[in-house]
Amino acid sequence: MYREIDLATWERSKTFHFFRPYDDPYFNVTGNLDVTTLLAFCRERGASFFHHCLYYSLKTANDMEPFRLRIAGEKVLCYDRINGGTTVLYDDHTFGFCYFDYLPERGACVQHIAQRIARLKADPSHIPDSDAPDMIHYSVMPWVSFTGVKNPRRFGIEDSVPKIVFGKYYESDGKWWMPLSVEVHHALMDGYHVGVYFQRFQEELNLLLK
């Protein structure tokens, strides 16, 4: 479900129309998250760090309206819920795409993600295709503690889906850090919103202490 944004009264209407015609209106911000608590949490329970990163990232996105906005022709739609799609590495080092729903309860969502990924790995010949706009595209590079990422892009088609990439976590000064790349459409949000996303994602991870 979604509702249409009234562009005539939308506070960022001028900014939207300014960036809308750009050939490449995406911008990318890369920073580090303190994942010390999440890593310890997952290790103690034998749980998947990656699956939990997907959950907390998607939870943060669903809590922020700018990450639920999508362009549809001359319209801007705000979806009630955003789901996820992620790359999945196979044993032969090729990869496929796995799509999953966002479920508000952490345990249920993490289990759902695990089941979807396991199903895809069990049948690598099945590559689901989804151009659904109500999602976030995820990827992971667990081999590199990157400082920047460039995502592939198909010009000539309409795309306003955020792209988020997790990097290799590393230890520094007694804490564990993970690079996070967030790439978004500038007609729908600005650096401020991405900054708030980083802050809220970190706050979600910090809540594991309580």
What pLDDT, on the 0 to 100 scale, is given for residue 79? Answer: 98
Domain with residue 124: its CATH number is 3.30.559.10
What pLDDT, on the 0 to 100 scale, is given for residue 40? Answer: 96
How many whole angstroms separate alpha carbon 133 and alpha carbon 117?
20
Section 6-16 average pLDDT: 97
Nearest to 31 by CA among 187, 140, 194: 194
For the stretch 73-83, pLDDT in tens is 999 999 999 99
What pLDDT, on the 0 to 100 scale, is given for residue 72? Answer: 95
Establish if 109 belongs to a structural domain.
yes
How many whole angstroms separate alpha carbon 83 and alpha carbon 67?
11
Establish if 11 belongs to a structural domain.
no
How many whole angstroms separate alpha carbon 89 and alpha carbon 139?
10
Contacts of residue 131, defined as CB under 8 A and 6 or more positions apart, other chains included, come to: none
CB atoms within 10 A of CB 7: 13
Is the pLDDT confidence value at 108 over 80? yes
How many whole angstroms separate alpha carbon 23 and alpha carbon 107?
41
Helix, strand, coil % over all residues of the chain, rounded to 5:
35, 30, 40
Is the pLDDT confidence value at 3 over 90? yes
Domain span at residue 184? Answer: 2-6+27-209
Decide if 113 contacts 40 (C-beta within 8 A).
Answer: no
Establish if 19 belongs to a structural domain.
no
Establish if 14 belongs to a structural domain.
no
For the stretch 109-156, pLDDT in tens is 999 999 999 999 888 766 656 779 999 999 999 999 999 999 888 877
Establish if 197 belongs to a structural domain.
yes
What pLDDT, on the 0 to 100 scale, is given for residue 209? Answer: 66
Supply 106's token pair: 């952490």
Count how many domains the chain has.
Answer: 1
Is the pLDDT confidence value at 210 over 60? no
For the stretch 12-59, pLDDT in tens is 999 999 999 999 999 999 999 999 999 999 999 999 999 999 999 999
How many whole angstroms separate alpha carbon 85 and alpha carbon 87?
7
| Residue of 158 and 88 predicted with greater confidence | 88
Establish if 191 belongs to a structural domain.
yes
The model's confidence at residue 88, banded by pLDDT at 50, 70 and 90, is: very high
